[in-house]
Amino acid sequence: MTLISAAMGRIPVDLLITNVRLANVITGEIYPADIIIYGGKIAAIEPPGTEPAREARQVIDGRGRLAVPGLVDAHLHIESTLVTPAHFAEAVLPLGVTTVAEDPHEVANVAGIDGIRTMMAASAHIPLKVEYLISSSVPSAPGLETAGGKIGADEVKALLALPHVLGLAEVMDGASVVNEDPRALSILAACGGVDGQRVDSPGVIEGHNPMLRGRALSAFIAAGVDSDHTLATPADLVEKARQGVTLMLQERYLSAEAIAALEQLPLDAGVCLVTDDVAPDYLLSAGHLDRVLRRVIELGMDPMRALRAATFSPARRLRLWDRGALTPGRTADIVLVDSIEDFRARLVLVDGRVMAEEGRCLWRAPADDPMDALMETVHLPRQQATDFVVPASIREGEVRIRVIDCVPGQTLVTAGEAVVPVRHDRIELPEDGDMAYIVVADRHGVHGGRSFGVVRGLGMTRGALATTYAHDSHNLAVIGRSPAEMARAANAVIDSQGGIAVADDERITALMPLPIAGILSRHAVPDVAREVAAVGAALRDLGLDHPYWLMRISTFTLPVSSGLRITDLGLVLAAERKLVTLEIG
């Protein structure tokens, strides 16, 4: 008994879905159809009433709804939702997401190749199809930060041989590639990159290149890095599309102008919709890839083209030939919705089995989770207030320092300067300067050191926060107005073996434990969302009111981004890829 026999009507099929309008993302048409499923795959798509009638073990009446392929997210980090793969599946399956391409970059920065293997084991037996791209930037900036794990060419080669591994995840260090750094080139070569060796490559190579243009961009693409999901102007998007870059659009960088630029291109540029990072509270309130789909349509993208960008295009990009469209031979990952424009999953099937209905996941995460193996990863003793005193080069007077300036309403930062007082060999903060100390400590037990900086424009008027969820190396980052409060927040996180804590004077006003690798909770998304809301409220009480507060506090430590950043090794001028001192002159 084969799929051929089922297609021909020679044997009874497992499932017949009738009374639907099929959205064909290959041709752009919508038409009435019956969908015939056998062995988890689509055996046939037929006009309603085709004779002879099918014999099916189960029949589902689609109630005239639109049948679309399951959504395929071509780039994300499950860890950004602060939950394990199983709990993530419970949250996104009811939204119509059936396949994701996971970059386990955050876990890898904590636990290296063992962390990636653990993540793979944790997603091996869940209904959400989790495919993997091997993290290419661990650490993201060697020599500028200290991570708990390291991924080099040998690790990439070993992991590429495993099932469900599709290629190399976002190459973030564009400067190393264009400057032909041996380590960067060896990692690319392991996946068939460098000097145009892409025809026989073992997988895709994804990019992260917001700062590259002109010849540098050409060099990056020539090395085999041919996708991008970062901030880009409409002109940047067109330039990249013309050079064959797969454009991956995430919500926070969307604009009507960007969509208009892409819609004006005569041919479909193979755009993919992605999520990248989604906080748990936002996932519950707004959605996931379904939200990005609705948003691009609101901004002017043709609905069928948008649906194609969330299904067919990402499947082709990832070489997942068995999904992304509803045609014979493909897996029966099917979502029933009322319309594309107001995409709301009414029924979700994975491999022909109903997994979610009317917003409810019908599958439950098991109590035993392989991710529990990544506990006890915060290797720091309890802290003292003196650990957060920022030393100065003089005993009394004033010094000019570098300051991390926050861009209002965004997660970007710039490099600024300020003159601050010094009292008793320590840098003091002006009362009215909207400044806070920031200290980053090695929590992986590599060298036990720390670095000091100052943030301006964050809005904190008092208190402190501490987090081990700090991109990309996830060291302990502590921000505050006083060393005593900073120590209190840090100790709450250390005692929890990871997480985010807020201190206000003598009290811990919010605590979100993240004991798995210091970045993930053991709870489900609704529970974690409540904890996120509580932390957000506590931060607002301190004056830190930001629409993306989790990304705001967790990216000060990202040395491959732009502006002035801080890692456990010191302040980093991101564009110049160099460490600089806090004091100037």
Domain boundary residue, one of 269, 297, 327: 327
Is there a single domain that holds both residue 272 and residue 389? no
pLDDT of res. 259: 96
pLDDT of res. 172: 85
Instruction: Look at residue 532 and tell me if it is in a domain.
Output: yes
CA atoms of 225 and 47, how far apart (whole Å): 43
- Report the Cα 32 to chain-centroid distance in Å: 37
Give the CATH number of the domain where residue 235 resides.
3.20.20.140
Question: For residue 437, which of 389, 499, 490 has the smallest C-alpha distance?
Answer: 389
CB atoms within 10 A of CB 423: 11
pLDDT below 70 — which residues of the chain?
1, 195-202
pLDDT of res. 203: 85
Instruction: Look at residue 24 and tell me if it is in a domain.
Output: no
Name the H helices within 60-181.
85-92, 105-123, 153-160, 174-178
The most distant pair of C-alpha atoms in the chain lies apart, rounded to whole Å, by 93
Q: How far is CA 28 from CA 95, 117, 303, 304, 317, in A?
A: 22, 39, 10, 6, 19
How are beta strands 450-456 and 397-406 bridged, if at all?
parallel
pLDDT of res. 193: 77
CB atoms within 10 A of CB 268: 15
pLDDT of res. 200: 55
Is there a single domain that holds both residue 451 and residue 322? no
pLDDT of res. 194: 72
Residue 527 burial class via C-beta count within 10 angstroms: exposed 0-12, middle 13-18, buried 19 and up = middle
**């930062």: which residue's tokens?**
413
Total number of domains in the chain: 2
Is there a single domain that holds both residue 284 and residue 381? no
CB atoms within 10 A of CB 267: 6
Instruction: Look at residue 234 and tell me if it is in a domain.
Output: yes
Residues 81, 82, 84: CA angle, nearest 5 degrees: 95
Give the torsion through C-alpha atoms of 116, 122, 124, 127, to 10 deg: -130
- Are 238 and 266 contacting, i.e. CB atoms less than 8 angstroms apart? no
Domain boundary residue, one of 310, 327, 344: 327
Is there a single domain that holds both residue 318 and residue 387? no
- Are 566 and 556 contacting, i.e. CB atoms less than 8 angstroms apart? yes
Domain boundary residue, one of 327, 355, 383: 327
Using DSSP, state whether 329 is helix, strand or coil.
coil
Residue 35 burial class via C-beta count within 10 angstroms: exposed 0-12, middle 13-18, buried 19 and up = buried
Is there a single domain that holds both residue 288 and residue 152? yes
Instruction: Look at residue 21 and tell me if it is in a domain.
Output: no
Is there a single domain that holds both residue 284 and residue 224? yes
Q: Which two three-digit tokens encode residue 328? A: 């014979």
- Are 194 and 220 contacting, i.e. CB atoms less than 8 angstroms apart? no
Residue 375 burial class via C-beta count within 10 angstroms: exposed 0-12, middle 13-18, buried 19 and up = middle
Q: Which residues, 6 or more positions from 189, have their beta carbon under 8 angstroms from its beta carbon?
A: 153, 197
Is there a single domain that holds both residue 263 and residue 380? no
- Report the Cα 242 to chain-centroid distance in Å: 26
Q: Which two three-digit tokens encode residue 379? A: 């290797």
Is there a single domain that holds both residue 541 and residue 447? yes
Question: For residue 556, which of 571, 575, 538 has the smallest C-alpha distance?
Answer: 571
Is there a single domain that holds both residue 320 and residue 448? no
pLDDT of res. 575: 86
CA atoms of 417 and 470, how far apart (whole Å): 24
How are beta strands 476-480 and 464-467 bridged, if at all?
antiparallel
Q: Find residue 276's DSSP bridge partners.
A: 76
**Run of H or E residues at 376:** none
Instruction: Look at residue 506 and tell me if it is in a domain.
Output: yes
Core vs surface per residue 478-511: b (16+ CB within 10 A) or e = bbbbbbbbbbbbbbbbbebbbbbbbbbeeebbbb
Is there a single domain that holds both residue 84 and residue 158? yes
CA atoms of 403 and 72, how far apart (whole Å): 41
Instruction: Look at residue 516 and tell me if it is in a domain.
Output: yes
**């689609």: which residue's tokens?**
62
Using DSSP, state whether 326 is helix, strand or coil.
coil
Is there a single domain that holds both residue 317 and residue 398? no
Residue 258 belongs to domain spanning: 69-327
CA atoms of 301 and 332, how far apart (whole Å): 27
pLDDT of res. 79: 96
pLDDT of res. 562: 87
Question: For residue 364, which of 356, 374, 372, 353 has the smallest C-alpha distance?
Answer: 356
- Angle, nearest 10°, between helix axes 105-123 and 153-160? 20
CA atoms of 333 and 324, how far apart (whole Å): 8
Instruction: Look at residue 37 and tell me if it is in a domain.
Output: no
CA atoms of 116 and 132, how far apart (whole Å): 9
Instruction: Look at residue 179 and tell me if it is in a domain.
Output: yes
Is there a single domain that holds both residue 127 and residue 207? yes
